[in-house]
Structure 1
Amino acid sequence: MDPAAKAKLVARTDLYYDMSYTVAYSTFANIPSEFKQLICPYTTENSGISTDADSENGAPVKTASLLDLYSGCGGMSTGLCLGSALAGLKLETKWAVDLNSFACKSLKYNHPKTEVRNEKAEDFLALLKEWAILCDKYVHSNDSDAAEPVEEEEADEPLGKDEFVVEKLLEICYGGTGRKNGIHFKVQWKGYGPEEDTWEPIENLSDCPLKIKEFVQEGYRRNILPQPGQVDVICGGPPCQGISGFNRFRNRDNPLEDEKNQQMVTYMDIVSYLQPKFVLMENVVDILKFADGYLGRYALSRLVSLNYQARLGMMVAGCYGLPQFRMRVFLWGALPTMVLPKYPLPTHDVVVRGGAPNAFSQSIVAYDETQRPTLKKALLLGDAISDLPKVDNYQPHEVIEYGGQPKTDFQRYIRLSRKDMLDYSFGDATCPEEGKLLDHQPLRLNQDDYDRVQQIPIKKGANFRDLPGVKVGANNIVEWDPEVERVYLKSGKPLVPDYAMSFIKGRSPKPFGRLWWDETVPTVVTRAEPHNQIILHPNQGRVLTVRENARLQGFPDYYRMYGPMKEKYIQVGNAVAVPVARALGYSLGRAYQGEVDVGYDALFVLPDSFTNIGQTGARARASSVGTPAGEVVEQ
């Protein structure tokens, strides 16, 4: 309803509501049309959809812009774009922001057209506000085209001892490491090379108004920074380290007073400022557990207070075609003029075991136990990585040949090219490494750990408990075998380290644990050390490689990581599982184009073409499911 008609209608009332609430998936949504006197139909005319007249070869013709906050290496935005394309929407990651410089390099390589910013989210928000002021002055104002005075550097007068000429302004930021708050420009100095470029505060450039004007007008034309109304979708997973079990000083009474949880507020502040059509926030399930779900409730209520429709659900990565469990929270937001996206029901038969808080058990995305859907078999580790060539503990090459053919449907799919994946991030250009195997490198273990790993038996369930001198006593607690003399390595250090024996009071089988082909991984981790986790390859003397971990997260094989080896593992482990984001992207693509199912439930069934190899370019109509989520059961 347009604001004028709404104001006229509610003027005669004491109380009114314009949004419905449903307990399942904590859904705040537009009131079903049968209860409205006047409604604004979902049409492309009011949805702000733009069209791309240059689309060819059956590619989507409708386009939308995406801002990826706390982007990491881009797992969430990549998946959203892939899924949206299958639904007929060309979603483009126009901007991305992350504090990890290596993750930014990875995202920029895989999305070369994206404006990637390596900075704090709060600095990014401050920059957006300052950028709007600069654009008002140099682009939108009536005198923005007026002649400026000739700048001093353009004259041919000799320079003083400490004077330099500004050749060009290259970049813009707000504050940053070692700099005070405020606008700074990266300056290219006349007569000097790139290594001499420096960051200068805007007040130091007061004699260079033409250079500033030139930069702002060019930046506005290139859309280097978004302004309110220019962003269609915001996605991201703000870190909430204040709820981590490793934080001994967690604030349970008011978690938002903890500085480590402030990124949740910053994320919502950016949403408030930019007012995108859609919002998708991802986070760990602990935001619904810690302090009675304080942070999850805050995020949901903040969206509603901004007049967004909203719903909250928990999704398991394995349910969408991955050999890992990995449950995460996903929060949708949509303006009242848009269709609120639904959650895609599982495509693979994975048992949803414990981990969800009781207060939000009705928000698990799963089939009802009375339903008997036809699902694909759950994926196992062998389905994902059995085709990859054997490598040693030290493998120095970032790019190698596959050396063999794929063995499973998953492997055939994960090897697809960008074009076949409907990935438009490279445009028409072909990646020079197309068809090669990237990042199939393990973290190189030190000699002692390598010697230990070499002695872990090649069998299912093997770990440090299988080494000589260790026996399992009462209550599954390890102890030293008094009849076996302790074994030492060449370095003089013990074969079985003390920390393995004492880890979790001797109850854990994780140290130096070996994965097996017919298993599902609990979750991909950010560290590759085998000291306290099961990460050894089933039949090789090493930890899983970066590529093997990336396979478990659903990254296409063409997706390359940048940075030191440990940083690559961090990027992969922190990412949103790509198949989950892809399924959500399909839902987003349908909602963006105004596709509404009969009924007002929160779930829908993905079409067969979504998971069938060789049919990625086909569009199919999804069906709605009006039943609540299934019960959480223990495996």
Structure 2
Amino acid sequence: MPSPKQVRPSVLDVFCGAGGMSLGFQQAGCEILGGIDQNPYAINTHHNNFQSCKFKLPCQDIQELTNLEVIGLRPYDVDIIIGGPPCQVFSRVGLGKMRRDLKMDVESDKRNFLYKEFIRFVKYYKPLFCVMENVDNLRHKKETLASIVGGIEENGYRVDYRVLDASEFGVPQKRLRVFIVGVRSDLAVSPIFPKTVSETPVTVGEAIGDLPELEAFSMPLKAKSSGPRQKDIVLPYATNPLSKYQKVMRARNKSGVRNHLCRAHNYEDLKIFSLLKQGQKYGDIPEELMRYRSDIFDDKYKRLVWDEPSWTLTAHMRKDCLAYIHPLQTRSISVREAARIQSFPDDFVFYAPMTRMFELVGNSVPPLLAKAVAEPIVELIRDYYSIGNIKVSC
């Protein structure tokens, strides 16, 4: 009989994205079987960072994956199913943009209902546990939340949910997310959630202070390109690790810094960057420099604070990074700095064009938060397989 630490619960990641949730569960001691996503850059990044996966499925729409037998797994072959269905339709920011800018019929958007695909996987594979992640605004979508919880419960699970703040689990970012945990009813235990591990949040400076400085690339005001093309070369660290967090981020990386690329900005933006103090935003700049309505775009520009955690990173970084200006340098943050703020270690490389890298990072579950969620679940599963401490209901 294996010792508890030798047991590696198996995980299938549905809506895997780049792999933030996969990485957290792997760090907690799980075996990642594979991931499913329709974003080609996400799948490419997942494949390259989880090369030992048994199943490297092609990029595909999960709704078209009607025959789950083709994956090669049978019911009860998976210990944990994890995933974060697309959240734009549940996000306050996402909803506003879709209604205002895209004139979309939000209520009929199919992404409202992709959580049903997650439930379909749970129903078929009957894992010991399932974990779904989404934006904290989901708790206010009472009908949708009840449908998710009820759908999982109907398939033989006890279900509960919590709103967790990533900054309380070692992530240098204030990021609220809902985690819905289900445990199969024949296990006589309740859904379990992590306890806070960090009383003092990790700051932006503690997260990125050892990374090399970057030049602030500029372009004309009316330029449509993203600016000078940069090569994703390996760069040397600026210093030895200056914080415990930096040591953790560099622990497995032996080659230097990858993905340390930042966006180009026009001269007017760079001038505004230079005037903003840490924590200031668009509404704080001189009125003569304002090109947008300050009542609508009050936080269009925002400078991060060196000695505080970051505010929430979003996929909108793909469009611009104006809300994430470096605390000390006259530029927006780089992909690697964003990845650090999301708690991706430096050996995790994003394989995509730069703008898509930002999107992948912004859409990800912070690995350290996922790890915290995974650890108590892994402990219960190890007891179940190794020493029979979990009572099984008849």
TM-score by length of 2: 0.84
2:310 maps to 1:521: yes
The aligned runs of 1:13-162 (5 Å cut-off) are 60-83=5-28, 85=29, 91-114=30-53, 115-117=55-57, 118-124=59-65, 126-129=66-69, 131=70
CA distance change for structure 1 residues 323 and 63 in 2, over 3 Å: closer, same or farther? closer
* C-alpha distance 437-274 of structure 1, shift in aligned 2 (>3 A): same
Q: How has the CA–CA distance of structure 1 residues 415 and 341 changed in structure 2, closer, same or farther, with 3 Å as cutoff?
A: farther
Give per-residue Cα distances to partners, 1:171-196, cap 9 Å, x unaligned: xxxxxxxxxxxxxxxxxxxxxxxxxx
Aligned to 2:361: 572
Distance change (3 Å), C-alpha of 1:331 and 1:450: same
**1:60 shift after superposition:** 3.6
Query: 2:193 & 2:249 partners in 1: Cα distance?
Result: 23
Q: Is the 8 A contact 2:318 2:356 kept in 1?
A: no
- For residues 318 and 5 of structure 2, what CA distance do their matches in structure 1 show? 43
Instruction: Provide the rounded CA distance (Å) in 2 between the counterparts of 1:110 and 1:243.
Output: 29
- Report the equivalent of 1:3: none
Does residue 498 in structure 1 map to residue 291 in structure 2? yes
Distance 1:537 1:123 in 2: 42
SS in 1 for 2:26: helix
Alpha carbons 1:511, 1:531 under 8 Å: kept: no
1:332 Cα deviation from its structure 2 partner: 1.0
Structure 1 length-normalised TM: 0.54
SS state at 1:534 partner: coil
Aligned match of 2:214: 391
Higher share of residues assigned strand? 1
User: What residue is the counterpart of 1:152 in the other structure?
Assistant: none
Q: Which 5+ residue runs of structure 2 have no aligned equivalent?
A: 100-104, 218-229, 390-394
Is the 1:503–1:532 contact (alpha carbons within 8 Å) kept by the matching residues of 2? no
1:341 Cα deviation after fit? 4.5
Change (3 A) 1:536 1:530: farther
**CA 1:515–1:65 in structure 2 vs 1: closer, same or farther (change >3 Å)?**
same
Partner of 1:312: 161
For 1:332 and 1:464, the matched residues in 2 are separated by: 39
1:337 aligns with 2:186: yes
Structure 1 residue 414: deviation in Å? 1.4
2:349 to 560, 565, 569: 560
Does the Cα contact within 8 Å between 1:443 and 1:528 map onto a contact in 2? no
Q: Distance in 1 between matches of 2:271 and 2:209?
A: 24
What do the CA deviations read for 1:503-561 (whole angstroms, capped 9, x no partner)? Answer: 4346x2x2332212122222012233797853111121111111111111111111100
Write the deviation string for residues 479-509 of structure 1: whole angstroms up to 9, x where unpaired. Answer: x5xxxxxxxxxxxxxxx3522xx14346x2x
With over 3 angstroms needed to count, the CA separation of the structure-2 counterparts of 1:389 and 1:238, relative to structure 1, is same
Alpha-carbon RMSD across the aligned residues, in angstroms, is: 2.8
Distance 2:241 2:332 in 1: 22
Q: Distance in 2 between matches of 1:466 and 1:580?
A: 33
Equivalence for 2:118: 267
Partner of 2:133: 282
CA distance in 2, matches of 1:327, 1:452: 29
Check conservation: 1:237, 1:282, Cα contact below 8 A.
yes
C-alpha distance after superposition, 1:18-42 (max 9, x if no partner): xxxxxxxxxxxxxxxxxxxxxxxxx
Counterpart secondary structure, 2:206: helix
Question: How far apart, CA to CA, are the structure 2 residues paired with 1:464 and 1:328?
Answer: 26
State the distance in 2 between where 1:578 and 1:274 align. 24
Q: Which residue of 2 aligns with 1:159?
A: none
Instruction: Answer whether contact 2:263 2:320 (CA < 8 A) is retained.
Output: no
Residues 436, 276 of structure 1: CA spacing in aligned structure 2 closer, same or farther, 3 A cutoff? same
Aligned to 2:226: none
Deviations 1:136-167 (A, max 9, x none): xxxxxxxxxxxxxxxxxxxxxxxxxxxxxxxx
**Percent of paired sites with the same residue:** 27
C-alpha contact (below 8 Å) 2:45/2:350 kept by paired residues: yes
CA contact (8 A) 2:172 2:343 kept: no
Q: Which amino acid aligns with 1:229?
A: Y
Task: Summarize the Cα distance change of 1:261–1:228 in structure 2 as closer, same or farther, 3 Å threshold.
Answer: same
User: Unaligned 5+ residue runs, structure 1?
Assistant: 1-43, 45-50, 53-58, 86-90, 132-223, 252-256, 350-376, 418-432, 471-479, 481-495, 599-635
Residue from 450, 460, 464 that aligns with 2:278:
460
Alignment of 1:94-493 (within 5 A): 94-114=33-53, 115-117=55-57, 118-124=59-65, 126-129=66-69, 131=70, 225-244=72-91, 245-246=95-96, 247-248=98-99, 249-251=105-107, 258-290=109-141, 293-338=142-187, 339-349=189-199, 377-394=200-217, 396-417=231-252, 434-453=254-273, 455-457=274-276, 459-464=277-282, 467-468=285-286, 470=287
Q: Return the offset for 1:326.
A: 0.7
